[in-house]
A and B are shown apart, each in its own frame.
Chain A
Amino acid sequence: MKKIFFALMALATLLSFSACNKELLNTNPTDAVTGDTMFTDTDGAMMALNGTYRFMWQWGVTTTGNYHQCIGPQGYNLMADLMGEDFVQAAQGNGWFWYDYRYNVKSRYTASTWRSYDMWNYYYTLIANVNYIIDAAEQIQGDPALVNYIVGNAYAIRAWSYAYCAMIFARSYIGHEDRLCIPIYTEPTFAGTTGKPRSTNREVFAQAMSDINKAIELIGNSAQQHVSHIDKYVANGIKARIALYMGDYQTAHDAAAIAVAGASYDYDSSFKYNDATHKSVLWGAEIISTQGTTNPQFLAHMDYRFGGYGDASRKCASAWLYDKMSATDKRAKDWWSLEILKDGTTKGYQQYKFLFKDPDSPQTGADHIFMRAPEMQLIIAETACRLNNEAEAKAALNALMKTRDASYDCSNLTGTKLGELTTDETGSLLEEIILQRRIELWGEYGRIYDIKRLRQGFVRTTAMGHPSAALMTSLHLDDPESFDWVLTIPQAEFDANDYMVQNPINSYASGDQGDDPALTPTVKEN
């Protein structure tokens, strides 16, 4: 018996203390790959680029809550439209965008569920992702033209991100060129990368301009591989937008002239902004059924027939803007109509511009639209006007408008004078171009960015259709110097960036808040 015991004991000891295979402790996830394997060839780099585009339009990835109003570029444009005066949100509904509309987001900068965190995180996540691609340019193996296309797209995304981030986190470029804007990062991020101080508007927009020029150079004449990608037309469109915001009208004009050739600016009554392959679309996102969703998407907020957010909170045009359209303007009938709601009230001009292809099947037929040719044509008209080339401006505007309103003619207008308030009418040609821009791009371009660059102020009235809760009389929306439309920087930034300076929570700067470069801490001691 002792023998059995001894044998068993020896066997068991041998078994148990024979060390396990070391490899067993190396485990890996099944839905991710390690970063250093991504950029060996164009396949991997293209995957990183496509992932970045997906992130750009994917809803709900930038915050820890309130996902339903974080829905990519169209959502941010809707927010920026709602911050202006042309866009009416008739009711609170489920609350989405209502806080943007009522300027009730700036004090919420400590939460990771509101706009400050959302937008900061959104643009800087895009920037971090493309910085890795740009950094890897030299090591990507494959067709040089394809490498250039990928890296060029990365530069273009960075240009777009810096410009749009700057447009919401700083006051206008014009008039505040050397005021604080946002930090610039052009190198890839690693564990321990430290935060940078805010650069000035001039520096940030110079970076954006340099990036977009680099993108145009690298992309060359390569064809757009997918509607979400940036080709030379889209890149020039982005360049035109940036230059326009900066007041660099010649650059904007020339870039827009290239961009407009990429698509058609003709009017199409049947187009309901749900198909990125439409002839007028330069840039958008194709949403296939398995990547589509129901509620947290742009059209669910817009299309009241869908029965959700768009119904509970009607999206309407201001009566003031609507009344500017002539009776023969097709848009006035195709895009808006007066609706009587169930409680018997009238809530402005209900929009029909943005509709699902089929509201019963919202996961498809709800593509995202980021850029259309009419915008480029309007930039040509506006910049030509500002460059004292009124003939070209009128021709450009008339060409656009004749497909929308057969009786349209702006030939008798002249001048570039704009009112102090957007409702103070001067009758100038520039004002007319801007007006058509407001109508044509309603709901898709971010009205507040225009109000900022035009250095105007605005008022909302109940006569326009705004609910009394949204008049915002206690703010200073009539003053282009105010900080009301400048978002606060999220607390998460301050937790790890000693250089950061906050924007004023109120309408004007006080104490250690504001965009004065003198406020930036210069010494970091550890």
Chain B
Amino acid sequence: MKKAKLFFSTLFVLLAVAVSAQNMRVTGTVKDSSTGEGVPFASIVVKGTMIGTSTDANGAYTINAPANGTLEFTAVGYVLVDEAINGRGVVNVSLDPDAESLDESIVVAYGTAKKSSFTGSAGTVKSESLQKRTVSNVTKAVEGLVAGVTTTAGSGQPGEGASIRIRGTGSINASSSPLYVVDGIPFDGNIASINPNDIETMTVLKDASASALYGARAANGVVMITTKRGSEGKANVNFKATVGWQSRSVKDYDMVNAQEFVELTWEALKNSYILDNGYNDAAAREAASADLGAALGGQFYNPYKNYTWDTVIDPTTGKLMADAVPAWNENWMDVLTNKQAIRQEYQLGVSGGDRKTKYAFSFGYLDDKGVLITTAFKRYSIRANVDHEITDWFNAGASASYAYTYQNSSQYSSTQTGNAWYTAQFMAPIYPVYLKDDSGKNALDGNGQLQYDYGMNGRPKATRFNAVGDLYDNKYETMRDNSSIRAYASLGGDKDVMGIFKGLSLSTNFGADITGRYITSYYNPFHGDGTSTGGEVDKYSTRTFSYTWNQILKYERTFNDFHLLAQAGHEYYNYNYKYLYAERTQVYPGILEIAPASGDINANSYSDVYRIESYFGRLAADFKDKYYLEATWRTDGSSRFYEPNRWGQFWSVGASWRVSQEGFMKNANWVDNLTLRLSYGELGNDDLYKGNNPNYYAWQSFYDLTYPNANNAGAIVSSLANPAVSWEKKGTWNVGLEGTFFKQLLNVTFEYYNSLTSDMLLSYPMALSTGFGGYDANVGSMRNQGFEGTVRVNWLKTGNVRASSTLMAYFNRNKVVKLTGESPSILSGNQLIQEGLPIYSWYVARSAGVDPATGRQLYWAYKEVTQNKDDANYDAALVAKSYSIPNTIKLKDDDNGKAGDQIFGYEYKTDNTGEATNSKYIGYGSREPKFQGSFGSDFQFGPVDFSFLTTFSIGGYVWDSVYASAMEVSYSGDTWSKHILRRWQKPGDVTDVPILEIGSTNISADRWLVDASYFAIKSIQLGYTMPTKWTQKIGIKSLRIFATGDNLFLFTKLNGLNPQYNMTGGTSWAYTPTRTISLGLDINF
């Protein structure tokens, strides 16, 4: 890098000397706009001439130039700036670091590469972009910053991350998650342990050419995280503090109020007496009034203290009595929300170095309180990087980091009563959080404190539970010790001192991630789930230790216009996981330990080992900075597979052509750079899953030893042997076009990719009656193809006023090409994996509206009938309304019919849920959006900076099971969505919501498929940098204050819906994502 700078500046000095026009003398300094430091060796050319000079080590320059001329300032890694002289003797400029700079070096597998020479596809996220998001887990900051990357919103539980998919879902039973690499070594730690502030860049390797050197495990792309390292110069001390306030970023569902709830329950009871028991209307009304108290839990829970349950509804109208006033109208979700969910983060970083030694270290502290009461995340992190040049030919460096994280969360999920998100969502507003007395006022205890109502007085729902009280009285805390070390040593290099070995180097890298996790869960003995056992305390202790060690021999030389690189290496990866669990009931109240509990001890432990050995090589050559070729090869042996099938071969070839360097482009001055790239490669995936757990031993038949029968050892068969199971392969084509035009004004990148996953790791379906649902095998294939476009416009780049905008749009089209060959589809719940369709296509009954006469939900159903023209009972009318099913005309007689029989199909409407269940339809698509993308801008007006980022996704469907349950309520005491008010009530009503029932037979129908399109304002940031002339007096290099809004707004089709809950398109009763509004201070000394 430095060499290159020197080369260019010398060149420009020479050019400058060659010209001898004499005008006026102009002096000034060129500064880096981000650091405020002088830019050494920047070149200054008088526009339209050959006159030029360069800055000195401090960024100062002197030049003779025409008074009305324009100076053009350029420096490697910065955006070009034109500045008119206008007769000034002093012209100071500041240059912006340029993310799109042609010779920017990017992090690639086993090294770095100049962007211009890169033949693959990658997206880089710089620390400035990450810093604009207020996130505790860096995976949440990636959304909208790299084309082709889809993320979930992630749980709002502080510390939790988001899932990332690069270019679609690549596998069915193996993982579709990318490989995370931190400082060159695959990362097995907890991403939440990484302080986002320590990250210099995140590079997303998208295609085969970019990631093939990671062969094994790289099929779903690679996310490379590079931490900040020191640079030569005086020590820089950075202190940053932010304080934020959090709230829900996804709105709550609109639910009915107490009055509506009571009226609806009465109406549902009335309907059930008519529909189920055949009562007439008047009798049903009477019975409903009589039954209301029992259905809702007795008079204790009647908030209408001037009425009893059987009189509170006027049976003739079904409405609440006009003078019935509720003593309370509870909103549980509101009570559960922490209104002071404050997030505080403090960082201190020091970096610097001299020519030989460079260092960076940082400390971070984060205290993140969740929007759900009691939940929180804390992180203390330390990181240190040191690089040292021992001799000309011997470099070494090491980095170490430690993070302690503490998380307090709610461990419940989905429809568990203990899950506050579920219980509060459905708890009707007539059930108070706090105990009430007969007059409807809060019943206080002896100390004048509020008391939780645990539903012990007949509440039909969640008896023994109180979502608010349980969060305080129970505990689920996770502590993690995260250590990572990375070390390298490198011998040799492209130095003359190497003599005949010039260009040859040998380097070795070692990295280890060690995570100790300690979980305590405690259920109090008085309320909630612990009641039945006298409480329970569980302890989990897990230890993950993984290391990677590689040795790489490299030869790299430049001969005139020809540059050559050859690399060969060996790598060994070892992963070790240990699990220990113990549990005891009959706790000592309030003590979260096993020792004082008196129940029997239940314990368990196991270990897993996973290893990969690899050999790899790379050849790269380029000529005249115009033609680039690269080929890689890697072979991996995975311990997951049986020996003969263990080794997978992975490779890639890529080429790029800088069209703009060609002679014929010489006159196209508006083209700064134009590069065409093409690559193909094959990658592997061995990341098999069994349920939610990794399957490290896929090929063997096992007996699971965890089935003792009383005190007799016992085992059951748990898997079938398939020694043939081996690597899943993914071959990807990538075509890219990248151009920079009009002196960096416009930068565009377009890419098309087409990848085929083959030998797909699939649980080969077996008839369940064989005792197994399937066995792991390599079958089938799946295609992902898509288009990505990024357009960046640098609107303004004059001096202190700058503006740029970036628009990204991309789409992925997934298609299952082939499954087992025996069965063209695999059904999984409401979704279908079927040949020819996108993975996880919706497959549900199709609703046909509500019957205006009966109020019943109608569905479309289809039937097949055999008809024969020669038969006496040939039904011409039926055939006329049917469609003929091709190739079903029987030609000759046999046992199953006679010649001339033909099968016809027809559709009809029915309210029979059985027939509707048998008549599911495809064609709703899947979660996959039509397209998605982001739009963001950055502005700098002198000391003020402003930026925003928005994301959008158009098309696709989400199956909103939360909404469905709020419309088809299963239990008395569960409340409804406000949309239920549209229900059918009397013959003649035309509506889309059927007659009201509680616990009706409900089936999966398209009523609950909601358009998943959304538009989100992800972040807005406003900053102000104090003028240097003030701050320097007190020894501060720069001081910036800023305000950030993160996850600000989400616009969806349905309030409450989180369209980014997961990748397959579901929703659940889960921790809602959060919005953070924060203020911050950033000081450099």
Decide if B600 touches A51 in the complex (CB within 8 Å): no
Decide if A183 touches B491 in the complex (CB within 8 Å): no
Q: Measured between alpha carbons, how far is A52 from B714 in the docked complex, in Å?
A: 7
- Let me know if A34 is at the binding interface, CB within 8 A: yes
- Let me know if B85 is at the binding interface, CB within 8 A: no
Decide if A32 touches B864 in the complex (CB within 8 Å): no
Decide if A47 touches B714 in the complex (CB within 8 Å): yes
Tell me which residues across on chain A come within 8 A of B702, comparing CB atoms: 29, 32-35
Decide if B506 touches A120 in the complex (CB within 8 Å): no
- Let me know if A300 is at the binding interface, CB within 8 A: yes
B374 smallest CB distance to A (angstroms): 24
- Let me know if A421 is at the binding interface, CB within 8 A: no
Decide if B777 touches A191 in the complex (CB within 8 Å): yes
Decide if A306 touches B532 in the complex (CB within 8 Å): yes
B936 smallest CB distance to A (angstroms): 41
Decide if B293 touches A343 in the complex (CB within 8 Å): yes
Decide if A92 touches B771 in the complex (CB within 8 Å): no
Q: Measured between alpha carbons, how far is A102 from B700 in the docked complex, in Å?
A: 43
Q: Measured between alpha carbons, how far is A458 from B1039 in the docked complex, in Å?
A: 84
- Let me know if B363 is at the binding interface, CB within 8 A: no
Tell me which residues across on chain A come within 8 A of B276, comparing CB atoms: 468-469, 471, 473-474
Decide if B703 touches A51 in the complex (CB within 8 Å): yes
B542 smallest CB distance to A (angstroms): 14
Among A308, A495, A512, A526, the residue within 8 A (CB) of B826 is A495
A182: nearest residue on chain B (CB-CB)? B769
A175 smallest CB distance to B (angstroms): 23
Q: Measured between alpha carbons, how far is A15 from B765 in the docked complex, in Å?
A: 46
Decide if A363 touches B917 in the complex (CB within 8 Å): no
B828: nearest residue on chain A (CB-CB)? A112
- Let me know if B1030 is at the binding interface, CB within 8 A: no
Tell me which residues across on chain A come within 8 A of B586, comparing CB atoms: 361
Tell me which residues across on chain B come within 8 A of A15, comparing CB atoms: 551
- Let me know if B464 is at the binding interface, CB within 8 A: yes
Tell me which residues across on chain A come within 8 A of B772, comparing CB atoms: 128, 189
Decide if A342 touches B999 in the complex (CB within 8 Å): no
Decide if B613 touches A120 in the complex (CB within 8 Å): no
With A5-B393, A363-B599 as contacts: A185 and B709 at CB distance below 8 Å: no
Tell me which residues across on chain A come within 8 A of B915, comparing CB atoms: 505-506
- Let me know if A262 is at the binding interface, CB within 8 A: no
Q: Could you tell me which residues of chain B, from 308 to 360, have a CB within 8 Å of some CB in chain A?
A: none
With A31-B706, A343-B298 as contacts: A492 and B768 at CB distance below 8 Å: yes
B422 smallest CB distance to A (angstroms): 12
Among B606, B608, B705, B829, the residue within 8 A (CB) of A111 is B829
- Let me know if A107 is at the binding interface, CB within 8 A: yes
- Let me know if A58 is at the binding interface, CB within 8 A: yes
Q: Which of A208-216, A287-295, A318-326 contacts B (4 or more CB under 8 A)?
A: A287-295
Chain A 1-42 interface mask (CB, 8 Å, partner B; 1/0): 110010011001101110010101111111111111010000
A16 smallest CB distance to B (angstroms): 3
Question: How would you classify the secondary structure of chain A's contact residues: helix, strand, loop or mixed?
Answer: loop
Q: Which of B51-59, B151-159, B246-254, B637-645 contacts A (4 or more CB under 8 A)?
A: B637-645
Decide if B712 touches A38 in the complex (CB within 8 Å): no
- Let me know if A408 is at the binding interface, CB within 8 A: no
Q: How many residues of B contact A (CB 8 A)?
A: 113
With A343-B297, A505-B918 as contacts: A110 and B463 at CB distance below 8 Å: no
- Let me know if A125 is at the binding interface, CB within 8 A: yes
Q: Could you tell me which residues of chain A, from 504 to 522, have a CB within 8 Å of some CB in chain B?
A: 504-506, 511-513, 518
A135 smallest CB distance to B (angstroms): 12
- Let me know if B710 is at the binding interface, CB within 8 A: yes
B151 smallest CB distance to A (angstroms): 26
Query: Which of A17, A189, A194, A226 has the largest count of B CB atoms less than 10 A from its CB?
Result: A189
Decide if B611 touches A24 in the complex (CB within 8 Å): yes
- Let me know if B294 is at the binding interface, CB within 8 A: yes
B878 smallest CB distance to A (angstroms): 14
Tell me which residues across on chain B come within 8 A of A497, comparing CB atoms: 767, 769
B1001: nearest residue on chain A (CB-CB)? A104
- Let me know if B570 is at the binding interface, CB within 8 A: yes
Q: Measured between alpha carbons, how far is A478 from B394 in the docked complex, in Å?
A: 90
- Let me know if B1 is at the binding interface, CB within 8 A: no
Q: Could you tell me which residues of chain A, from 53 to 78, have a CB within 8 Å of some CB in chain B?
A: 53-55, 58
Decide if A363 touches B705 in the complex (CB within 8 Å): no
B830: nearest residue on chain A (CB-CB)? A110
Q: Could you tell me which residues of chain B, from 882 to 915, have a CB within 8 Å of some CB in chain A?
A: 896, 912-915
Decide if A191 touches B720 in the complex (CB within 8 Å): yes
Decide if B825 touches A495 in the complex (CB within 8 Å): yes
Among A2, A129, A287, A462, the residue within 8 A (CB) of B771 is A129
B344 smallest CB distance to A (angstroms): 39
Tell me which residues across on chain B come within 8 A of A228, comparing CB atoms: 709-710
Q: Measured between alpha carbons, how far is A290 from B710 in the docked complex, in Å?
A: 9
Decide if B643 touches A35 in the complex (CB within 8 Å): no
Decide if A35 touches B767 in the complex (CB within 8 Å): no
B295 smallest CB distance to A (angstroms): 9
- Let me know if B822 is at the binding interface, CB within 8 A: yes
Decide if B912 touches A345 in the complex (CB within 8 Å): no
Q: Could you tell me which residues of chain A, from 70 to 120, have a CB within 8 Å of some CB in chain B?
A: 91-92, 94-95, 98, 102, 104, 106-107, 109-112, 117, 120
Among A25, A286, A344, A492, the residue within 8 A (CB) of B773 is A492
**Besides A30-B608, A300-B532, 4 new A-B residue pairs in contact (Cβ under 8 A), listed by A number:** A54-B716, A182-B769, A343-B458, A361-B586
29 pairs, A vs B, C-beta closer than 8 Å: A5-B501, A8-B491, A16-B570, A24-B639, A25-B639, A27-B609, A27-B610, A29-B608, A32-B718, A33-B705, A50-B707, A53-B714, A98-B999, A191-B721, A192-B775, A193-B770, A194-B767, A286-B710, A288-B710, A290-B601, A295-B529, A306-B532, A312-B460, A341-B458, A345-B294, A359-B532, A361-B586, A462-B277, A495-B826
Pairs of residues from A and B, 8 with the lowest C-beta to C-beta distance, nearest first: A128-B771, A195-B767, A16-B551, A505-B914, A51-B714, A50-B714, A35-B701, A497-B767
